[in-house]
Amino acid sequence: MILTSEERAKQHVASGAWNHVTLYQMFKRTVASRRNEIAFEDIGPSAIPGLSSRLTFTDAERRVDGLAAFFAGIGLKADMVIGIHLPPCVDASVIVLAAMRAGLVVCPLPVYWSKAEIEAAVEAASIKAIVTASEIEDDPSGEMVRDVAAETFAIRFVFAVGAGLPDGLIDLAEVLADVEALGPPPEIQRRGQAAEHVALLSMAKSADDKLLIVPYSHNQLMAIGVGHLLEGGIAGSDTLLSTMHPASLASVGGALATALLSGSTVAFHHGTSLAGLVEAVEVSAAKRVILPEAMGPALSEYVADDIAFSLVGTGLGFTRPEAIRPERATLDLITLGGLCLIPRARDADGEAVQLFVGPTRMGRNNDAGPVIYETRVKPRIKAGDRRATLTQGELHLTGAIIPDAPWPEPHSGKSGAMLAVTSDGYLRTGLQVEVHDERLVILGSLTETIQVAGTTVSPARLDELFKRHPQVQDAAVFPIEAGPVGNRLGVAVVPKPGEYPKLLDILIWLDGEKAGALDRPVSVIAVPEIPRAADGAVLRQALFMQAVA
């Protein structure tokens, strides 16, 4: 499926930002030059029973091609969407490449998501197949995804990896046990350039907490890889250690595409502790670690200064990210809440660098390279005010690494939010920014949102959720600062007369409401009334101060 306009694609190719190379084609080129070297390896304890791999490029090629042939053979057709519900691991990357070789579109399903959240993603992204595991961190993920398929008629296949699979799942280990018998994958007949077709769906949230499906083509993913490569000064066949979801934009663009371009090995680690992550860096001999921004400062204290960091963060915080020691080469991979992946090298003091107004070219201090992305500020004019300020407004983005068209609505009509793109190809981010010395300061969402564990959520939706509790008369949520793990959720309630709702009561009630993991508070306080401004807006900072008083 091609969503980028023909005119825009030609512009990116003419500039040199796009080269019409798919991830699979880049993988084949790398295989040809590094056949017996390590392509992918798992580091540290596996989150999936019996699963740990270390593959050369030759072994990975056999598995990717065999699995692509299998997907095509059972009836998965080009442009169908396959959900990846797995932690970081070698098998997941093989599955991602095989799916792309078969012309499928890959979609990440975070392992911490609830059954209801996965069902919503299946509907919004039109997912037709899911790959999961027997268990993930002792949770019966295989059974949960099987139940999703049973209740969601759109799902045709549920594949799984790991020991002890429950009944009803297709064991990919058995499929790959005799990979040569699967034959070569068939050639895909489709219009236009293969690299212009959508390869990956990123997941974001709209201001009202609806799922926002963000499509990325092979061209856009490869351009992200090139941008990461040049901005980070990545060279040679070093090992990149990724802790990100294997089908996320950060992992596919920031790790997989980058490694294939540089001829590097990708090591995967499902981090559950700082000590385990430190050990994984040492065991893998990684020269760069791709990890959440919040973990960067802590890890920096325990690993050698010559190990570079690529820190994945939303870029939406009201405070700047903590500085990393200047001796360490560090860059930020800015997601703006899942909309994009913008590589920005830190400055000489280890401080995060704000986005510039206007075009940014590939590579640091490069005045001649192709434009990788471009920003502009669209002034917002309030009703009754004819004046517009050129220094404050909504952030718009365009360029080779920026999505430029919405994912089509599902045939069911039950969709999430639609990606907003202007007629001239700019992505509307929904973020309010201000210009200072040609740099952009993000002030927040145009509508009220809060960050919980690095994810944007709608406080208005959560307020209404907790107001439905039978013991509650009024309610409002607020963020609780929680150090490197990001904000956690607190809720203030005005109890009904004679009622005393406790945290455990509310958590049990949320189970019945099928609430997501990020909807669950870590603290509940009872207040006589919810503080509000004159316009009715909840004073959430005041609630936080009451909670910590």
The residue from 399, 421, 445 where one domain ends is 445
- Residue 397 is predicted with a pLDDT of 95
Q: Which of 88, 9, 18 is nearest to 52 (CA)?
A: 88
CATH of the domain at 240: 3.40.50.12780
- Residue 319 is predicted with a pLDDT of 59
- Residue 383 is predicted with a pLDDT of 52
Q: What are phi and psi of 519, to 5 degrees?
A: -85, -5
Contact 286, 303 (CB under 8 A): no
| Residue 67 parent element (H or E) | helix 57-73
Residue 50 in any domain: the answer is yes
| Per-residue 3-state assignment (H helix, E strand, C coil) for 375-442 | EEEEECCCCCCCCCCCCEEEEEEECCCCCCCCCCCCCCCCCCECCCECCCCCEEEEEEEEEECCEEEE
Contact 128, 155 (CB under 8 A): yes
Chain centre to alpha carbon of residue 382? 33
Judge if 195 and 317 occupy the same domain: yes
Judge if 30 and 150 occupy the same domain: yes
Amino acid at 53: S
Judge if 295 and 149 occupy the same domain: yes
Cα–Cα distance for residue pair 87/108, rounded to 1 Å = 10
The residue from 414, 429, 445 where one domain ends is 445
Judge if 331 and 396 occupy the same domain: no
Q: What is the DSSP string of 108-174?
A: E--TT--HHHHHHHHHHHTEEEEEEES-BTTB-HHHHHHHHHHH-TT--EEEEESSSPPTT-EEHHH
**Tokens matching residue 280:** 């994984």
Judge if 189 and 112 occupy the same domain: yes
- Residue 390 is predicted with a pLDDT of 65
Q: Strand 54-56 to strand 38-42: parallel, antiparallel, or no bridges (unpaired)?
A: antiparallel
- Residue 533 is predicted with a pLDDT of 86
Judge if 463 and 441 occupy the same domain: no
* Residue-level pLDDT, tens digit, the chain, 549 residues: 999 999 999 999 999 999 999 999 999 999 999 999 999 999 999 999 988 899 999 999 999 999 999 999 999 999 999 999 999 999 999 999 999 999 999 999 999 898 988 998 999 999 999 999 999 998 999 999 999 999 888 899 999 999 999 998 999 999 988 888 888 898 888 888 999 999 999 998 876 678 889 999 999 999 999 999 999 988 777 899 999 999 999 999 999 999 999 999 999 999 889 999 999 999 999 999 999 998 999 999 999 999 999 999 988 765 577 889 899 999 999 999 889 999 999 999 999 888 889 999 876 666 778 889 999 998 866 555 555 556 788 999 999 999 999 998 765 555 567 899 998 889 999 888 888 888 888 877 777 777 777 677 788 889 989 999 999 999 999 988 776 566 889 999 999 999 989 999 999 999 888 888 888 999 999 999 999 888 788 988 888 888 776
Judge if 231 and 375 occupy the same domain: no
Residue 366 in any domain: the answer is no
CATH of the domain at 424: 2.30.38.10
- Residue 290 is predicted with a pLDDT of 97
Judge if 325 and 437 occupy the same domain: no
Q: Which residue range forms the structural domain that includes residue 398?
A: 371-382+389-445
Residue 163 in any domain: the answer is yes
Judge if 271 and 340 occupy the same domain: yes
Judge if 70 and 209 occupy the same domain: yes
CATH of the domain at 477: 3.30.300.30
Q: Which of 262, 249, 207 is nearest to 339 (CA)?
A: 249
Contact 89, 271 (CB under 8 A): no
Residue 269 in any domain: the answer is yes
- Residue 154 is predicted with a pLDDT of 86
Judge if 181 and 323 occupy the same domain: yes
- Residue 399 is predicted with a pLDDT of 95
Residue 282 in any domain: the answer is yes
Question: In the chain, how many domains are there?
Answer: 3
Q: How many of the other CB atoms lie within 10 Å of CB of 349?
A: 9
Residue 496 in any domain: the answer is yes
- Residue 180 is predicted with a pLDDT of 83
The residue from 430, 445, 460 where one domain ends is 445
Residue 1 in any domain: the answer is no
